[in-house]
A and B are shown apart, each in its own frame.
Chain A
Amino acid sequence: MNRPLAPVEKSPRLGPGLLAVREPLPKRASFVAGILAFAIPFALWCVISYVPFVWHPLVLVHDPGDTSVRGTYSYLAQGQLVEREVFAARNEELRRAGKKLATGERSNPIYLQAPHAVGRAMVTAFTTPPPRDGDMWLHQSLWKSCQVIFWGFLCAAMLGVPLGILCGTFSLFSRLVEPFVDFVRYMPAPVFGALAVTILGLADEPKIAIIFVGTFFQMVLVVANTTRSVDPALLHAAQTLGTSRSGLIRHVVIPSALPALYRDMRILIGWAWTYLVVAELIGEKSGISAFIYQEQRYRHFDNVYAAIAVIGLVGFGVDQLLALLGRYLFPWESGNTGLVRLARGARRLIPESSRLLARIAPIAKART
């Protein structure tokens, strides 16, 4: 019976496959899909921009032909963007007159910039000085925006998180605070723009105020709900271990809700970016929105896209960074104990107070 074994037929795939209902994707597929998430929209953009017969409703005139021929469409000039029908009609006029035809290439409207133009703009926007003296460089605008977001969001979080935790913990606060907050929440933050400018002036304060109004009221409700979802069994367990009422908040409610609160904050920072664009256009225009506004007036749409993409990149980058930090901050959810081990190691480096005292005590004794 030394016959070689027949080659094992490749069994049908045992894994969950790509379309398994509510199952995690295989690791490789997950990685590829993550890249495709960006690659597909980018590819679509490239196709529309670079493949001449896809869309391209206009013609960029390279040479208007013989301009001496009079006609309805004789206004064609070099560098002009005209509709395809107009271009064809002009060439018809020229052909009838027997003169030199106009030449040009199919093109997209100015508001659809090709990837390379936006890419170039993204570099040049950071490297070329603003067209007018006193205008800001893109990086200055961006830094300004980040500051406004930071202060607006910080103020909202300093007040909103504690208030939300109180509401989520005590029904009394919930009834006292939440109905009114719910009411204000439906007022769009920008409607407070005029008020904010009147009260706080033209500089950064009203902008910070708009971001505060936009995020604070949402934050109170979101934080309250997250706090309410803390498992009551944990509270009961802590109580049977002798935890006082104030201790419950400090030692159970807050640590238990912390990872979820952190995720809430990440989502709410996104809200802050949304309100930023409105906030920066009230009073004295500033920041990245002012940059976009200005470039749009110059019809530099490549710069407009560059600035919009930069906002996306900054927001996405900050969120990914916070997500990464979260994995270290909450090792009991992620299993990533790097930071904990680091802290434990650091604690070992510091001499313990008792050891320190033992060292100091003889010296002190000698002195007296």
Chain B
Amino acid sequence: MNDLLTLPSYLDHPPEIAERITELRARPSVMCVDGLTREFRGSGAAPTVALSNVSFEVRQREFISVIGPSGCGKSTLIRILAGLDYPTGGEARLDGRAIRGPGADRGMVFQGYTLFPWLSVLGNVMFGLKMKGMTGRQAQRVARDWLERVSLGKFAEHYPSQLSGGMKQRVAIARALANEPRILLMDEPFGALDAQTRSAMQAHLLEICARVDVTVLFITHDLDEAVYLSDRIVVLGAHPGRVVEIIDVPVTRPRGPQQFLSGHFLATKKRLEELIHRPHGDGPAGDGEIAAA
């Protein structure tokens, strides 16, 4: 496929990566997705299977991406994990407890802009804190702190309608993280942004993850984004949505734009491309890789 460039195998981990993978695997599990199945019953006889027996685990302070072609049930998966939808089979557990409905222990950043338009930027970040019963002053202090961390301290009194798309998503990230969730669920959060803003946001997110103790599950359809940000990538296949492979990303941290052209980055991306564009049904089933992961 690639005659000009000899790429290393995506499975060929440099020593520091191998070390990090071992270290990651030793970490306690935060979220366990166990045989998750979701069927939608339409008017027709046969139900549509959006997710079929999806299993993987997310470990403490890990950045894990879920990627797949459209129709693979990425969004359904994250909605179930957020508690906004329910599985028809299997279950998802957070710290060993089955997920039943939404909760503040799973923060979420959506693709669309979901800031509350009637609250100022500060009010938006304070929202979850107040729901937790924190007093106004305390919540304000924490919220201002978070706004500084996403470099939006100056915009505390602005309304969301006065912000650009990238700024809105930064506020949304601050709002979710201020709640100190066990896991941050991100559903294609940069999908609606232009290319430049998106890469700035990716860099920003990497920076936040480096500084803050946070576990992230990130949904995307952008291969570069997945490789650039993640420790591991769960590749889903479509019709029905199922795990095709789970890839340990062999790119060292800290990550930077220069790595987009590194051999390991390209090799991983090439592998993702093969998996996603492969006609569904052939190739090894995902189960083996799940066990390996």
Name A residues whose Cβ lies closer than 8 Å to a Cβ of B: 231, 233-234, 236-244, 247, 251-252, 255-256, 258, 330-333, 335, 354
Given contacts A236-B110, A332-B161, contact A241 B128 (CB under 8 A): yes
The answer to whether A239 touches B179, judged by C-beta atoms less than 8 angstroms apart, is no
A238 touching B127 by the CB < 8 A rule? yes
A244: B residues at CB distance < 8 A: 131
Question: Which residues from chain B sit less than 8 Å from chain A, CB to CB?
Answer: 82-84, 101-104, 106-108, 110, 112, 114-119, 127-128, 131-132, 137, 159-162, 172, 175-176, 179, 185
Inter-chain contacts of A256 with B (CB < 8 A): 116-118
Distance in Å: Cβ of B143 to nearest Cβ of chain A:
12
Bound-state CA distance A105–B152 (Å) is: 77
Complex contacts, B161 vs chain A, CB 8 Å: 332-333, 335
Q: Are B107 and A240 in touch, CB under 8 angstroms?
A: yes
Supplied contacts A241-B128, A251-B127, A256-B116, 5 more A-B pairs, CB within 8 Å: A234-B116, A239-B83, A240-B108, A251-B131, A335-B162
Q: Are B131 and A241 in contact (CB under 8 A)?
A: yes
Question: Known contacts being A236-B84, A256-B118, A331-B159, is A241 close to B179, with CB within 8 Å?
Answer: yes
4 closest Cβ pairs, A-B complex: A242-B104, A241-B128, A239-B102, A237-B114
Residues of chain A within 8 A of B112, CB atoms compared? 233
Q: Are A242 and B114 in contact (CB under 8 A)?
A: no
Determine the chain B residues whose CB is within 8 A of the CB of A252 once the complex forms. 116
Q: What number of residue pairs across chains A and B have CB atoms under 8 A from each other? A: 78
- The residue on B at minimum CB distance from A352 is B137
> In the complex, A231→B101 CA distance in Å?
19
- Nearest residue (CB) in A for B107 is A240
Residue of B nearest to A331 (CB): B159
Could you say which residues of chain B place their CB within 8 Å of the CB of A238?
A: 116, 127, 131
Q: Compute how far the CA of A247 lies from the CA of B176 in the bound complex, rounded to whole angstroms.
A: 18
Closest approach, in angstroms, between the C-beta of B214 and any C-beta of chain A?
15
Residues on A with C-beta less than 8 A from B83 are 239-240
On whether the beta carbons of A241 and B104 are closer than 8 Å, the reply is yes
| One of A240, A333, A335 near B102 (C-beta < 8 A) | A240
Q: Which residues of the other chain, B, contact A239 by a CB distance below 8 angstroms?
A: 82-84, 101-102
The answer, among B118, B132, B176, for a CB contact under 8 Å with A258, is: B118
- Please tell me if the beta carbons of B104 and A255 are within 8 angstroms of each other in the complex: no
- A residues in contact with B107, CB < 8 Å: 240-241
Distance between Cα atoms of A201 and B82 in the complex (Å): 59
Complex CA distance for A233 and B110, rounded to whole angstroms? 8
Of chain A, the residue at the smallest CB distance from B181 is A240
- 21 A-B pairs whose Cβ atoms sit less than 8 Å apart in the complex: A233-B114, A234-B114, A236-B102, A236-B108, A236-B110, A237-B108, A237-B110, A238-B127, A239-B84, A240-B83, A241-B128, A242-B131, A242-B179, A244-B131, A255-B116, A255-B118, A256-B118, A333-B117, A335-B159, A335-B161, A354-B137
- Alpha-carbon gap, A169 to B137, bound state (A): 32
How many angstroms from the CA of A218 to the CA of B65 in the assembled complex? 50
B176 touches A240 (CB 8 A): yes
